[in-house]
A and B are shown apart, each in its own frame.
Chain A
């Protein structure tokens, strides 16, 4: 057997390979499900399991109300995941391995929560939202800028640096949770400005248009779609986007063409962090209305896979996010439907990711069988 690098591959072929990978993954996962079932003495039909997953994500076999509700939540979560991936896109395009989205999102969430707690009722609502967004963006940008600065100045390893910044952000979040704990002794911040509290619903994104807090789903979708379009244009049609691409391909070529590489590192990382910080704002204002160390919930890492599989294309990211969000929602559902614990669902997610990531190998390399001509 002999492996050689591909010179390139037709787009339809690439998608065909990916589709085959997903199908194989579903078949393999089906066998695993049956195996798990037989081990526990229940017979599990994979088709039923997959239908149960669809029910978890979209409420397909439930009442219309639940269908609507679950679909919206799935779409919203998919959009927030996409938002983080959009934030990672410019950094990855620059071949700057920002794995600190988790932390950048958390500090953004802290910024937003800070405003919600301390400014609600004191300033007009639009001003409050502006403050929340600005604080979240600035906090995220700062968190991204630090590793960018160190890389530019001392050529530190950005992978380790951004990774460690996550842990600092987590500690910072725990500190804030302790600071803002409510009610005392609960070890959590509780729902900020929730029902029955002063400043009810102030700072909840659905409240922005005074229509009640249920409309926040649509707002999140629109904002993230707008961001996706913006990032698409930024990377493809602006001078800065071009600079990022050149730096990513060859630092020497960038220097040769007059691009100040350290500056581009810092600027791009600030942008990357800012968008992840904005995702933190969405997580607080549109989803949890609270802050905890689980506000990011590992999505900063999942977004890395999303950004990569989408090859930094923001619109493709939406599709990948949808798949992954569907998987995780479905996972929770099969856990409850079949009395399996959640690990089984994570196994399925793992199998699918394994095949999707694994097929990238076949996109980049060609495998020839048989002995090579000498």
Chain B
């Protein structure tokens, strides 16, 4: 439908009418981190009075792109236009001067201050004066206008996560932002709080604000946004009006069409029970349930895939089994040793597990944050799990050195010097080969991997897939947490789908479709 005004022959003045100029226009934005291209020539438009969803898998470059709008990063290439004029955003202050406000995933509030104090923090204000009543009044006005619930005099440490988020949003509005960017705002909210947030967002939209919401929850995208833009692996895939999108079509855009993968998936002769998890519940430090009543069994001779949106409890699940995560009473993790004897792992720490001779290997998600030591060389990293071997206080450096040589040769690790170069200076693929190689060399009966191919090129990824399949055929129970559904469907014998910390279903990897898994990822049981 076209209004009468739009039918007019545009005069130069009309072209400058604000409503016709997009709030933000990105042209050819590229950002590289070392050799990694986080964003590649991205064009994106955000109109006034519009809620745009920025959709993409983990690591697809959503947050990087938005950080360039909020002045945290500066693009290597490309141009940014705000309200039609080309701008340079070199600092968060520049962004704020352009009335762009970003609400980050991690709140940046001062705990011992009140909401109002946090809101005015860092603003110039009148010299030496802080009129708390005036601030509180202004905050209430903003709250009333958009439907926030906020008490300006409440201290931040007394607030729930959702209240803190409200403070962050009001803070941005108080500073006069017209363009709001919300980075995964619902990740920390309950469904009810999410509904409230969406209501507020719609009120802001009516007021002419332009909003970008970063998310990977499809039903939220459909519920709140006007238009969806999709990123994949740093590329801009395209955008569609939400009214023309469905969960299926968005999944297709987000995950992309599979390159013909053809991972060899042989069947093992026999399956042996290796690990049994029953009624596992895990809470984080804040007491929020990250896993709730998870039960499954892993068999030697199969790869059990674990699918789910990032943060659905994959990390907690593997870490509970490895003894790093505290588990709630009532859950059981039973390791079945080669003799068929069951050993309870709950309540054990990693040292107990090693001392009991439990053959459990774990490739964690955060390579340098958990699995490896970036400042040490390959040999020193190889001995991380086995350095206790041998009597006496001295470190045996000969055996690990030989093992390091073997891993470097077998997996074709490229390193300037095995015994000198710190691991941090190797490429991601080589680092991952060292980690996976070390864990396989432990000759485990259960091998857990989390995002084992994240950030790796196709060849290295295939090396890893083949290694895992090899392990499976040797009777190892392989647990593969992955994010690429195509790979999960080609590699795994069974797939456990997690959704919000619950088991959404355990399905056969050979017969399930990607769409079905995708639905199960967003809704327990796939919405049936």
A positions within 8 Å CB-CB of B = 7-8, 237-242, 245-246, 249-250, 252-253, 255-260, 374
Contacts and interface: CB of A to CB of B under 8 A. Distances in A.
Contact of B77 (A7, A250, A374): A374
A252 B374 CA distance: 13
A253 B351 contact: no
A146 B371 CA distance: 30
Given A250-B368, A252-B366, A256-B364, A242 B380 contact: yes
B314 to A, nearest CB: 16
B322 interface: yes
B375 A249 contact: yes
A68 to B, nearest CB: 41
Given A8-B422, A250-B370, 4 more contacts: A250-B368, A253-B371, A256-B370, A258-B349
Interface residues of B, number: 33
Contacts of A237: 394-395, 397
Considering residues A8, A240, A245, A250, which has the most beta carbons from chain B within 10 angstroms of its beta carbon? A250
Given A258-B354, A260-B349, A374-B77, A252 B384 contact: no
B384 A246 contact: yes
Interface stretch (B94-102, B330-338, B385-393): B385-393
Considering residues A237, A239, A246, A257, which has the most beta carbons from chain B within 10 angstroms of its beta carbon? A257
Contact of A252 (B354, B370, B376): B370
B350 interface: yes
Contact of B385 (A8, A245, A250, A258): A258
Given A7-B425, A245-B373, A256 B395 contact: no
Considering residues B324, B350, B351, B373, which has the most beta carbons from chain A within 10 angstroms of its beta carbon? B373
Interface string B345-363: 0000111011000000010
Nearest to A257: B384
A256 B362 contact: yes
Given A250-B370, A253-B371, A256-B350, A239 B395 contact: yes
Contacts of A7: 425
Interface string B176-214: 000000000000000000000000000000000000000
B206 to A, nearest CB: 39
B350 A257 contact: yes
A256 B371 contact: yes
A253 B374 CA distance: 10
Contacts of A250: 368-370, 373-374
A239 B387 contact: yes
Nearest to B397: A237
Contacts of B351: 258-260
22 contacts: A7-B425, A239-B387, A239-B393, A239-B395, A241-B395, A246-B373, A249-B374, A249-B376, A250-B368, A250-B373, A250-B374, A253-B370, A253-B371, A255-B324, A256-B322, A256-B370, A257-B385, A258-B351, A258-B388, A259-B351, A260-B351, A374-B76
Nearest to A7: B425
Interface in B369-417: 369-376, 380, 383-385, 387-388, 393-395, 397
Given A238-B393, A240-B393, A258-B354, A253 B349 contact: no
Interface in B55-84: 76-77
Tell me if A's interface is mostly helix, strand, loop or mixed: helix
A252 B425 CA distance: 20
Contacts of B349: 255, 258, 260
Interface string B436-451: 0000000000000000
A8 B393 contact: no
Nearest to A238: B393
B425 A8 contact: yes
Nearest to B367: A253
A174 B57 CA distance: 64
Nearest to B384: A257
A253 B366 CA distance: 10
B394 A253 contact: no
A253 B397 CA distance: 19
Contacts of B350: 255-258
Name the 4 nearest CB pairs between A and B, nearest first: A258-B350, A258-B351, A249-B373, A252-B370
A256 B448 CA distance: 13
A228 B374 CA distance: 27
Contacts of A252: 324, 366, 369-370
B383 to A, nearest CB: 8
Contacts of B373: 245-246, 249-250, 253
Nearest to B319: A256
Considering residues B322, B380, B394, which has the most beta carbons from chain A within 10 angstroms of its beta carbon? B394
A115 to B, nearest CB: 29
Interface in B275-325: 322, 324
A342 B503 CA distance: 74
Contacts of A241: 395
A256 B363 CA distance: 10
Contacts of A245: 373, 376, 380
A256 B365 CA distance: 12
Nearest to B374: A249
A280 B6 CA distance: 87
Contacts of A240: 393
A252 B362 CA distance: 13
Contacts of B375: 249
A255 B362 CA distance: 13
Contacts of B324: 252, 255-256
A242 B373 CA distance: 11
A125 to B, nearest CB: 32
Nearest to A260: B351
A242 B382 CA distance: 12
A250 B380 CA distance: 14
A253 B384 contact: yes
Contacts of A8: 422, 425
